[in-house]
Structures are given as structure tokens and as C-alpha cells.
Amino acid sequence: MNSKTINIFTENIYSGWELDEFEVIQNTRKIVEFYLSQLTDVSCLEGFDFDTLVFDILFCDSKKTHQINRDYREKDYPADIITFAIFADDDAKFVLDSEINLGEIILALDKVREEAKKHEVSDKYELYFLIAHGILHLLGFDHQSEEDYNFVVEVQKKALRYAEIGEKDE
């Protein structure tokens, strides 16, 4: 895929983790670039002429993801990540001014830290592992089967190596 502009908008409403949002955007852009260059079956983008991909990342806490899960997904539990894949999931796809809005990733940073401890990786690695996961969902990848799940996790790990984010990075 030829060079595309990737616009990522972030907002951190969680006071317990002060992120360097510039760094988050730069690393996230590398992950997207990796996916666009390495994945040949990004079917949600096939046949569309676009110059720019856009998506949002909201950093919050698990109370917020619990509320979002209840209100929009009819699930009564807090999640570490929620994605709303606008372009991949919507039947009425459209490109406005050569721009595709992929959707939104919502991350509960308190849950990210819990998961990092559980997986014995750094908070930073777990954060980007989940961002990489969310991007795959925005691009239309799912993991309903064990085979699909293993594929998604392996691609995430490759993307993090490409972005030079290691498991013990702080």
C-alpha cells in the first residue's frame, strides 16, 4: 500500500497515568504502518481510494469502560479495551475528502496496569499490545476462533517488534 497519512487523536481522562501522548501517537503510527505494509487482507479498505486514515484513542479508567460496556454493548463488566470499528463494521462505508475514519479505541489504563502485572510485562508493553489489538479490530480483524486469535496475537507481537517496543520497556 502506498504512503498514507495516519492521523491519530488521543485524549487522556485518567489522572492515574500521565502519558506522553506525542510518543503514543508516534508509536501507534508505526504499528499502523506495519499493518498496512504487511497485511494483505485488510478487506475493509479494499476498493476504497483514500489518502488518510483517522482514528481516536481515549484513555480512561475501568469505571468508564464498564459504563460504556453497559450502555452500548449490553455487557456488565469493565473492559481493558473497547473498540468501535466504524469503517470495518458499518455497511454504509464512505470516504469523505479522501479520508477514512476507522473508529475509536477506548483503553482503561488501570486495567492495562493490572494486565501488565498479570502477564509480567511492562505497563508500556501492555499498553501498546492493546493498542495494536484495537487497531486490528478497527481494520476488521476479529478472533472468534482459536486460529484467528493466535493469528491476531502473533501479528500484534510482530508490530510491536517493528515499533521497537519490548516486553520490559518502561
pTM: 0.94
Helix (H, G, I), strand (E, B) or coil at 117: helix
Q: Tell me, what CATH number does 142's domain have? A: 3.40.390.30
Average pLDDT over every residue of 113-134 = 96
Average pLDDT over every residue of 140-161 = 91
Confidence of residue 2 (pLDDT cuts 50, 70, 90): low
Q: Which domain holds residue 144?
A: 5-162
Q: What is the pLDDT of residues 79-90, one digit of tens each?
A: 999 999 999 987
Q: Who has greater pLDDT, 108 or 143?
A: 108
* Structural domain total, the chain: 1
Asked if the structure places residue 169 within a domain, the reply is no
Average pLDDT over every residue of 86-105 = 91
Asked if the structure places residue 21 within a domain, the reply is yes
Task: Name the region of 106 (left: φ>0; alpha: ψ -120 to 50; beta: rest).
Answer: beta
Confidence of residue 109 (pLDDT cuts 50, 70, 90): very high
10 phi/psi in degrees, rounded to 5 = -120, 150
- Return d(Cα 69, Cα 84) in angstroms, integer: 11
Burial (CB < 10 A; 0-12, 13-18, 19+), residue 162, is middle
Asked if the structure places residue 114 within a domain, the reply is yes
pLDDT at 170 (0 to 100): 63
Strand order in the sheet with 5-12: 5-12, 52-60, 99-108, 81-85
Residue 75 has pLDDT above 60, yes or no: yes
Asked if the structure places residue 118 within a domain, the reply is yes
Asked if the structure places residue 170 within a domain, the reply is no
Helix (H, G, I), strand (E, B) or coil at 131: helix
In sequence order, which residues have a C-beta less than 8 Å from that of residue 145 and are 6 or more positions away?
A: none
Asked if the structure places residue 167 within a domain, the reply is no
Average pLDDT over every residue of 48-56 = 95
